[in-house]
Chain A
Amino acid sequence: GENVEQHPSTLSVQEGDSAVIKCTYSDSASNYFPWYKQELGKRPQLIIDIRSNVGEKKDQRIAVTLNKTAKHFSLHITETQPEDSAVYFCAAAPPEYGNKLVFGAGTILRVKS
């Protein structure tokens, strides 16, 4: 079955710097890759996603890149702000899993001001 590995487990950056979180997946048939953000004490919420027919997607300060050959995808946050501090989860959607997602273990991002 699909396995998603996420690195690093924790990441500290200075306000204004960039942050990159990487995920690898094992099932080459996976075709959808979302990123969820969970602020302290709150529910996870989708922040950006990418489908397998696209290599990169941007939304203001966040972007996601996908390398299907290497089976990895990354979240890039530029000009980090304190409100970016949260736990970030990547996920993959193998077609054979129906509507389920397989999540990574999460990355705790701390933005120091």
Chain B
Amino acid sequence: DVKVTQSSRYLVKRTGEKVFLECVQDMDHENMFWYRQDPGLGLRLIYFSYDVKMKEKGDIPEGYSVSREKKERFSLILESASTNQTSMYLCASSSTRGGGTGRTYEQYFGPGTRLTVT
């Protein structure tokens, strides 16, 4: 079974702090994602990485950065946490194996980190 783990289930930080959220997957997946989940807004992509040291901005990258130094680990960084970044953060990974109609897009999610910024 694919296992995606996140460093914390719950985190409380103060405004202005630098926050690190870590995600680790054990299936040698090329792709890793960071989402933010808010009620009524679904899963919004913050950043995406398709290889080590490679990253792409998602739909809501402002106020966030990422790091992928190793294939299994993808970190989300809040440079200066603000109260509007209070949310549930979900990490996911997927494989690029297969092509054409056999391409696999399935994403495997971590358990989430509930971040509260006060």
Could you list which residues of chain A lie within 8 angstroms of chain B, going by C-beta atoms?
6, 9, 31-32, 34, 42-46, 49, 51, 53, 89, 93, 98-101, 103-106
Main SS at interface, chain A: loop
Query: Which chain B residues border A34 with CB–CB below 8 Å?
Result: 105-106
Partner of B96, one of A51, A99, A103, A104: A99
Could you pull out 26 A-B pairs where Cβ atoms are within 8 angstroms? Answer: A9-B40, A32-B103, A34-B105, A34-B106, A42-B111, A43-B4, A43-B90, A43-B111, A44-B90, A44-B109, A46-B106, A46-B107, A89-B42, A89-B43, A98-B50, A99-B96, A99-B105, A100-B33, A101-B105, A103-B42, A103-B43, A103-B44, A105-B40, A105-B41, A106-B40, A106-B42
Could you list which residues of chain B lie within 8 angstroms of chain A, going by C-beta atoms?
4, 30-31, 33, 40-45, 48, 50, 58, 90, 94, 96, 101, 103, 105-107, 109-112
**CB-nearest residue of chain A to B48:** A100
Q: Taking the nearest CB of chain B, how far is it from the CB of A50, in angstroms?
A: 12
